[in-house]
Structure 1
């Protein structure tokens, strides 16, 4: 089974896991760097 090419993404501020393409953290509002494929 091939792993998806999407890296795990954690909010640098609160440490919650967020989706790879979210532009901000829904938990604390921190801006996240976009990771385009």
Structure 2
């Protein structure tokens, strides 16, 4: 693997992890207000 491919993979994993973290933080906020579900 090239350095660029490794960097792209790490960046993608970090973005996905950040989205998961945001969704875990926002879902209780919205469900508490009766938003999403």
TM-score of the two chains, using structure 2 as the length reference: 0.22
Kindly name which structure, 1 or 2, has the bigger radius of gyration based on alpha carbons: 2
Q: Which structure has greater helix proportion?
A: 2
Q: Which structure has greater strand proportion?
A: 1
TM-score of the two chains, using structure 1 as the length reference: 0.22
Point out which structure has higher relative CO (alpha carbons under 8 A, 6+ apart).
1
